[in-house]
Structure 1
C-alpha cells in the first residue's frame, strides 16, 4: 500500500493544533495532547500503510478517542474552533479507517 498521506496530514494538523494552543494560551495540556495524538496517528497511519494484509483498527481507534474527547469539549463549549473542527476531522478519519478495515 502507498503512504497514507491523508493520515499523515491529519497527524500534522493535530500536532500543529496542540502547538498553536500552547502558543496562544500557554496550555501545556494542549501541547502535550496534540503532540501525543499527532504521534499516535502518524505511527498508526504508517503501520496501516506498511502492509495491507496486516491492517488493523489502530488508526480508527486513535481517531475515535480523539473524536470523543474533542466532541465532548465541543458540546460543552459550543465553539467551532478548535474543538468542533478537530472533532469533525477525527470523525471523518475514524470512518475512513473503519471502512478500509471492513
Structure 2
C-alpha cells in the first residue's frame, strides 16, 4: 500500500475533527491544529500521488508526512504520556 492511501483520508479526518471541535466548542486551537495538520497531510499525500503517477518517489512528501505525524503524536505524548491516538483504546475494549 502507498503512503497517499493513508495520508489523504487521515488528513480529511483531521480537517473534519478540527472543524467539528471549532463548531461545537468554539476552540480556535482545535481549528488550527486539526485543519492545519490535516491540510499538511493532504498536501503531502497529493504530492506523493502525483509522483506515483510519474512512477517516481516524492521524498519531500515522505519527509513532510513523517515530520507532521511525529509532531502531532509527539505533542500528544508530551501532554498525556499516551502513545495510541485518542479513541483507539476505547474502541478495542
Fold in common (TM above 0.5): yes
Change (3 A) 1:47 1:28: same
Change (3 A) 1:53 1:6: closer
Structure with max Cα Rg: 2
Aligned pair 1:55/2:59, yes or no?
Answer: yes
Q: Over the residues paired in the alignment, what is the CA RMSD in angstroms?
A: 2.6
* Equivalence for 2:12: 12
- Listed as ranges, the gaps of 5+ residues in structure 2 are 89-93
Structure with a larger share of its residues in helix? 1
Aligned pair 1:85/2:91, yes or no?
Answer: no
Q: Could you tell me how far 1:64 is from its partner in structure 2?
A: 0.9
- Listed as ranges, the gaps of 5+ residues in structure 1 are 89-102
* Equivalence for 2:91: none
Q: How many residues align?
A: 80
* Equivalence for 1:33: 33
1:22-46: CA deviation from partner (whole Å, max 9, x where unpaired): 1222111111221111110100111
* Equivalence for 1:95: none
Q: What SS does the aligned partner of 1:53 have?
A: coil
TM-score normalised to the size of structure 2? 0.68
Pairing partner for 1:72 from 63, 78, 86: 78
Q: List, as ranges, runs of 4+ consecutive aligned residues in structure 1 with deviation greater than 6 Å.
A: none
Change (3 A) 1:23 1:54: closer
